[in-house]
Amino acid sequence: MASRIDELTGRIAALERELDGEFDAVRATWRYRIERGRIRFEREVLETHRRFRQTVAQFLRESYLPSILTAPVIYSLLLPVALLDLWVSAYQAICFRAWGIVRVKRSAYIVIDRQHLGYLNVIEKLNCLYCGYANGVFAYVREVAGRTEQYWCPIRHARRVRGPHAHYREFVDYGDAEAYRTRLIPLRDELRAQEDKH
């Protein structure tokens, strides 16, 4: 029996599809398209971007001093993030293959494209590369963890979880023993059959 939670999560999924349409509208507004994985802006837009680029000296002069001083701390996470990326990739290569689960497509989560924006200087581009990589790794890890949780323990928590992964919507209600026993195998089968839709 579908619960009110199931109904609400279905509405969230519908809103996410609507959001995809809005991203298409934004592309039209800012006059760019994606061709074979590359972003293409119209010529006038590229010229406008160049006019808004700050020099590195101007950028540093206008930067907040604590932001500059904490940059080494921020960038010190690069090695742990890269190790996490490597370890989770190995984890899913071994475990997902053993369980028959469709593996997460890493490139769908780690999107690095902001360095192509003409209005960013070299420091801003480097920052955007780092943020795109680090946040992409975290999203990728979250998807791998979400599929793992769906495989082993697809039960919603008793308390509300802030920002749950996409698979959480399909989990059974906390305390519903019958649904757990009847839905566990179908939820596992779903992971085996699905394309990488997330």
The tokens of 28 are what? 């039209």
Has residue 54 been placed in a domain?
no
Q: By residue range, what is the domain housing residue 96?
A: 64-193
Please, what sign has the CA dihedral across residues 46, 110, 198, 13?
A: negative
Q: How many CA atoms lie within 13 A of 42 on its CB side?
A: 8
141: enclosing H helix or E strand = helix 122-152
How far are the Cα atoms of 3, 82, 153, 157, 160 from residue 174, in angstroms, in the given order?
12, 35, 11, 6, 11
Task: Look up the pTM and report it.
Answer: 0.83
Q: Is position 20 within any domain?
A: no
Report yes or no on 55 lying in a domain.
no
Answer whether residue 36 is part of any domain: no
Extract the tokens encoding 9.
Answer: 């999560």
119's CB contacts (< 8 A; 6+ apart) are: 48, 49, 50, 52, 53
**Is residue 85 assigned to a domain?**
yes
DSSP annotation of 40 reads E
Question: Does residue 32 fall inside a structural domain?
Answer: no
Cβ neighbour number for residue 148 with a 10 Å cutoff: 18
Give the count of domains, the chain. 1
| pLDDT tens, residue order, the chain (198 aa) | 567 877 888 888 888 889 888 888 888 888 888 888 788 888 898 899 999 999 999 999 999 999 999 999 999 999 999 999 999 999 999 999 999 999 999 999 999 999 889 999 999 999 999 999 999 999 999 999 999 999 999 999 999 999 999 999 899 999 999 999 999 999 999 999 876 554
> Residue 34: what are its φ and ψ, rounded to 5°?
-115, 120
- Confirm whether 97 is domain-assigned: yes
In a domain, 93, yes or no: yes
Distance CA 140, CA 136 (A): 6
pLDDT of residue 197: 52
pLDDT for 195 equals 63
Q: According to the model, what pLDDT value does residue 198 have? A: 47
